[in-house]
Structure 1
Amino acid sequence: MAKRLTYYILIAMVAGIALGHLLHQSYPADSKVLAQIADVLKLLPEVFLHLIKMIIAPLILATLVTGIASMGDSSALGRIGGRALGWFITASLISIGLGLVLVNFFQPGHGLQFTAAAPVGDLATADFTLRHFVLEIFPTSVFEAMGKNNVLQILVFSLFAGVALSAIGDEGKPLVRAAEALATLMLTITGYVMKAAPLAVFGALGSVVATKGLGIVVTYGVFVSEFYFGLLLLWVLLFSAGFVFLGRRAFLLARYIREPVLLAFSTASSESALPKLFEQLDRFGVPRRISGFVLPLGYSFNLDGSMMYTSFATLFIAQAYNIHLSAGQQVAMLLTLMITSKGIAGVPRASLVVIAATLTQFGLPVEGVALLLGVDTFLDMGRTATNVVGNAMATAVITRWEGMLQPPLDPDADVPLPPHDTPEQGRKGLNLDPGV
C-alpha cells in the first residue's frame, strides 16, 4: 500500500497540473467561474492540512517526551542537542553561502528592470525582533502552544517534561507509557489521513495552475530554473556529507523518505510530511529517542532550502533594481541571514518575512518582495522538500554519530511501528550491514 500511495501521489500531481492548465485555457483570468472552481479545488489540500495539523502537536509532544525520558541522563540529551545544533549551523552557512555564490554567478536579476507586480501585503516584519523571538520560544501554556502548533514551544515544554519524568523514576513510568501509546495512536491516525494525500496533491496543484497558469513559470523561468539548480546542488552536498557518516546508507535514505518529500513538495508544507517522516525514519533504523528530539528541533532551526532561498532571493531583488552590493556587504548579509533565519518558525510567510527584514536592514527596496509573489508558491514547493531532506539527513547522521543506528526495515511495510528504539514488527532485512 505504501508503494502504491507514492504512485498515486505522482499521478495526482500530473492530473492536477493537466486539469489546472485546461481550466486556465478554458476561462479568462478574471473569470468568476474559474475563481470558484479553483477555490473548490483548493478546499481539498486545506482539509488535508487541517487533518495533518490535528496530528502534529500531540505527535511531537508524545515523541519528544518519550524520547527524552528514555535517554536516562541529561548528559546524553545535551550531547545530542549540541551535535544537532552544530550540524544545523554548519548546514545553514553552507545553504546561505551556496545561494549567494549561485546568484552572483547566474545574476538572474540583471537587466530585467522589474516593477512591483503585486502588493507585498501584511508581512509580520514588525514582530521580527530579538525580543519577539526569545519570548516566542517559551510557552505560557502548553495547551496554547499545542493549539497553535508552535513546534518550538512544544519542544521546550517537552524538554522539561521528559527530563522531569526521567528524574522521578518509577512514578513517571505510567506517563511515559501513556506518551508511547499516544504516539502510536497518532501514527495510526496518520495512516488514515494519508489515504487522502493524492486528493490533496491533485487539488493543490490544480488550483495553483488554474489561477496562475503554466506561463508564470515561463515568465520567471530563469530565476526559477536557476534556483532549482541550486537546490539540486544542495541535495548533492547533503547526501555527500551524509555519505561521510553513513556510507551507502545515505543514498538508501532517499528511498525511505521519497513519500514525505513528495508530499512536502506538492503541498508546500513541511507539516504535511512530518508524521510520515517519523514513520519512515523508524523503518530506516533511527530510534525514536533520537528522531523524537532532533526532528522537531530541526523543524525550527534547520530549514536548509528556506535559508538558501533567502540569500538567493535577496540578491535577486538587488540585481533587479540594479543595486550593487560589495563582497563585504554580501558577507554581512550572509551573517545577518544566518541569525535572522533562526527566528522564522511560527512567523507567517516566514521566508518572505526574513527577506523583507534583510532588505530593510541593508537599505534595499522592500517592495521588491512583490516580485517574488507570483512564483513564490512554486519556489516554496522546492525549498519545503529540501527542508525535509535536510532534516532527515541530519537526524540519520546524528543517530550514527551516537552509535545508535539500527538495521533497516522494509520501507514499504504496512505493519504499524511502535515508538520504541528497536521496532521488530514487520522487519524485512535488506541484507545491509548496519555499520555501513
Structure 2
Amino acid sequence: MALPYRSFGFQVLAGMVAGLALGLVARQIGAGPDGDLNWLATALKTVGSIFVSLLKAIVPPLVFAAIVASIANLRALDNAARLAGQTLLWFAITALIAVAIGIAIGVIVQPGVGMSSAALAAKQPDSVGGWLDFLKGLVPGNSLALSGNTKIAESGAATTTISFNILQLLVISIAVGIATLKVGERAEPFLAFVRSLLAVVRAILGWVIRLTPIGSAALIGTAIATYGWSALAQLGTFTASIYLGLALVLLVVYPLLLIANGLRPGAFFAKAWPAIQLGFVSRSSVGTLPVTEAVTERLGVDRGYAAFAIPLASTTKMDGCASIYPALAAIFVAGFYGISLHAIDYALIVFVSVLGSAATAGLTGATVMLTLTLSTLGLPLEGAGLLLAIDPILDMGRTAVNVAGQVLVGVIVARREGILDESAYYGAASAEASPLPAE
C-alpha cells in the first residue's frame, strides 16, 4: 500500500496548506523596513515567479509542437473531418451553457451595484482587448510570433520586453500543421522532428510540474500575503458569484452532460482530478496540457483523437476564463458605474464568449478576454482594473474549470463517435498513478 505522502495530489494539497499558513505569517510580520515586502513575502513572491516563469518558458515550443503534431495525427483517423467538427461544436455548446449561467447569476445577484467608488482603486489595465486589435493580432508579424512591449515608469525610464504572442503562434502552428497534411510524405522528416521536439518538451515540462507543490505554496502564500482578506471582503459578492458559477458548471452541468451521454460522472472526476488540480495551482491550461492529455487517454479516449483535441482545447476551450468570468465581470462593471444593460448587451456577451475565447490563448489571466467584452459593450475599461487585485484568486478556479471542460469535450465526442473504451473509462484509478504523462 502506497504511503499518502508519496501521492502527487497529497503533495500539492500539502503545498497549498503550507502556502496559506506562510502567507498568513508573512502578513502578520508586516511591511519591511523601507515599506516594501518583508523577507518572507519576498521569498514567496520570488519562488512563485520562478515557477510561473518556468511554465511560460516551455509554452511556445509546447504549443507549436503539440498543435502541428495533433493536426498531422488527423491522417490516422478515418472520420477526421467529422471529429474536428464535433469537437468545435461541443466547444461552443459548453461555452454557451457556461456563459448563460454567468449571465443568470449576474442578473440575480447584481454584483457591483451600490459599491462605493472609494472602496477600490480603479486603473487602466496594462493589456486591453478590442475586436480590431484581436483581428489584427491574429496576423503574425514575424515567423516566430514575437512581439515587444514597452512600459514607461514614473521616473521616465522605458523598459522593453520581448515575448511570444501565443495567439499568433497558434495561427502559425495551425497553418504549418495543415501544410504538412497537404505536402504528405515529403513532410515526414519534418514531422519526425516535431514529434521528437514534443517528446523532449513534454519531458522538460514534466520536471517543472514536479515542482508544483513548491510552486503552489509560493503562489498561494504570495496571494494571501499581498492581498489578505481585505480585497476579498471588498469584492466578496463578486468573488462568491464567480465561484458559484464555476461550481455549477463543474459539479452540475458537466455531470449532467456526462449522464446525458450515458456515462457516470464519478469515474470521470476520479481520473480527471490530477489535471483539474494542476490547473487550479498553475493557472495555465497550456502548462497543464500533457497531464490533461494523459488523463483523457486514461479515461478511454482514442489516443489519436486525444492528441488532436486536447492541444486544441488547451489553447481555445475556456469555459471559466472566457465564459463565466467575462459575463459576470461585465455585469459587475455595469452595476458599479450605474450603467443599464439590455437584451442586446447580453446577446453580445454570449457572442464574445462563444467566438472570442481564443483571445485567452491558454495562459494565466483573462484580462484580454475581459477587456474585449467591455469594449464590445462600450463599458469603461477602468472597470477591469477594479478586479485585478483578486484576479490570481479567481484565476485558480477559472483554470480548473477550463481544464475539466477540455477533458469533458474529448470524452463526450469520443463516446458519441464510438471511439471511447468504456472498460478504461470505468477502470479503477490507481492511487499510485502519476498525473504526469509517460516519458
> 2: distance between equivalents of 1:163 and 1:356?
31
Seen in structure 2, the aligned counterparts of structure 1 residues 165 and 266 have a Cα distance that, compared at 3 Å, is closer
**Cα distance in 2 between the residues matched to 1:357 and 1:116:** 25
- Which ranges in structure 1 are unaligned for 5 or more consecutive residues? 420-436
Residue from 158, 167, 184 that aligns with 2:199:
184
Tell me the equivalent position of 1:136: 137
Q: CA deviation at 1:17?
A: 0.9
CA deviation vs aligned residue, 1:362-410 (integer Å, no higher than 9, x gap): 4433333232123222111111111111111112222333322235375
Q: Please report how far the alpha carbon of residue 119 of structure 1 lies from its aligned counterpart in structure 2 after TM superposition.
A: 4.1
Query: Aligned letter for 1:330?
Result: Y
- Of residues 335, 343, 350, the one that matches 1:319 is 335
CA displacement, residues 272-295 of structure 1 (integer Å, 9 cap, x when unaligned): 322322222232233443233222
| Residue number in structure 2 paired with 1:427 | none
- How far apart, CA to CA, are the structure 2 residues paired with 1:162 and 1:335? 28
Structure 1 residue 105 and structure 2 residue 108: aligned? yes
Contact conserved, 1:142 with 1:153, CA < 8 A, in 2?
A: no
Corresponding residue SS for 1:72? helix
Q: Is the 8 A contact 1:67 1:292 kept in 2?
A: yes
Counterpart mapping for 1:29-428 below 5 A = 32=35, 34-72=37-75, 76-115=79-118, 117-125=120-128, 128-130=130-132, 132-139=133-140, 141-144=142-145, 148=163, 150-166=165-181, 170-235=185-250, 236-245=252-261, 247-248=263-264, 250-306=265-321, 307-345=323-361, 351-406=366-421, 407-408=423-424, 410=429, 412-414=432-434
Contact 2:110 2:332 in 1 (8 A): yes
Percent same amino acid among aligned pairs?
Answer: 29
Secondary structure at the residue paired with 1:108?
Answer: coil
Cα distance in structure 1, aligned partners of 2:437 and 2:126: 41
**Structure 1 residue 231, shift from structure 2 partner:** 0.9
1:116 Cα deviation from its structure 2 partner = 6.6
SS of corresponding position for 1:111: coil
Per-residue CA deviation, residues 83-104 of structure 1 (Å, 9 max, x unaligned), is: 1221122222212211111111
Could you tell me how far 1:246 is from its partner in structure 2?
5.4
Q: Say whether the 8 Å CA contact 2:291–2:436 is kept in structure 1.
A: no
User: Shift in Å at residue 189 of structure 1?
Assistant: 2.4
Contact 1:242 1:397 in 2 (8 A): yes
AA paired with 1:106? V
8 Å CA contact retained: 2:70, 2:309: no
Residues 387 and 271 (structure 1), Cα distance of their counterparts in 2 relative to 1, 3 Å cut: same
Cα 1:251–1:357 shift into 2, 3 Å: same
Report the Cα distance in structure 1 between the residues aligned to 2:38 and 2:291, rounded to whole angstroms.
32
What TM-score do you get using the length of structure 1 for normalisation? 0.82
1:9 to 9, 12, 24: 12
Deviates further, 379-388 or 362-371: 362-371
Aligned length: 415
Counterpart in 2 of 1:431?
A: none
Seen in structure 2, the aligned counterparts of structure 1 residues 168 and 318 have a Cα distance that, compared at 3 Å, is closer
State the Cα distance separating 1:254 from its structure 2 match.
1.6
Which stretch of the first structure deviates more once superposed, 76-85 or 388-397?
A: 76-85
Q: Kindly tell me: are residues 26 and 286 of structure 1, through their superposed partners in 2, closer, same or farther at Cα, counting changes over 3 Å?
A: same
In structure 1, the residue matched to 2:155 is none
Answer with 256-265 or 329-338: which moved more: 329-338
C-alpha separation in 2, matches of 1:314 and 1:415: 36
Decide which moves more: 265-274 or 224-233.
Answer: 265-274
Q: Secondary structure at the match of 2:108?
A: helix
Counterparts of 1:29 and 1:225, CA distance in 2 = 32
Alpha-carbon contact 2:69-2:191 (below 8 Å) kept? yes
How many Å separate the matches in 1 of 2:378 and 2:139?
Answer: 32
Change (3 A) 1:59 1:340: closer
The amino acid that maps onto 1:137 is L
Alignment partners' CA distance in 2, 1:81 and 1:139: 24
Report the alpha carbon displacement of residue 357 of structure 1 after superposing the two structures with TM.
Answer: 4.2
Distance 1:34 1:167 in 2: 56
Alpha-carbon distance in 1 for matches of 2:367, 2:171 = 26
Contact 1:63–1:289 (8 Å) recurs in 2: no
Deviations for 1:206-257, whole angstroms, at most 9, x for unmatched residues? Answer: 1111121133323322221222111111112123213323512x43222223
- Separation in 2 of the partners of 1:123 and 1:75? 46
Give the partner amino acid of 1:79.
R
Confirm or deny: 8 A CA contact 1:246 1:397 kept in the other structure: no
